Chains A and B, each alone.
Chain A
Amino acid sequence: MGTQETYLFDIALDVLIGVITLSLLLCFVRLYRGPNVPNRTAAFDAIALHSVAIIVLFAMRSSSTSLLDVAIVTAVLGFLGTTMMAQYLERAAGRGWLASDGAPRQSTSARVAAEVAEQDEEDSNRVLPAKRDV
Chain B
Amino acid sequence: MTVFEMIIIGLATVGTFFMVVSAVGIVRLPDVYTRMHAAGKATTLGISSLLLAAAVYFGQDEFWRMILLILLFLVTAPIAATSMARAAYRTDPERGKTLNYDEMARAEPPAGTIPEEADLYP
**Chain A residues within CB distance 8 Å of chain B:** 5, 8-9, 12-13, 16, 19-20, 22-24, 26-27, 29-30, 36-39, 41-43, 45-46, 49-50, 52-53, 56-57, 59-60, 63, 65, 68, 71-72, 75-76, 79, 82-83, 85-87, 89-90, 92-96, 98, 100-102, 126, 129, 131-132, 134
Contact with A along B8-42 (1 / 0, CB 8 A): 11001101100110111011000010011001100
Contact among B51, B77, B83 with A56 in the assembled complex (CB-CB below 8 Å): B51
CB-nearest residue of chain A relative to B75? A79
CA distance A90 to B19 in the complex (A): 29
CA distance A91 to B35 in the complex (A): 23
CB-nearest residue of chain B relative to A97? B91
Interface of A is mostly: helix
A38-B84, A89-B87 given; name 14 further pairs at CB < 8 Å.
A5-B5, A19-B16, A26-B27, A30-B35, A38-B91, A46-B39, A49-B46, A53-B50, A56-B54, A72-B69, A75-B73, A93-B120, A129-B112, A131-B112
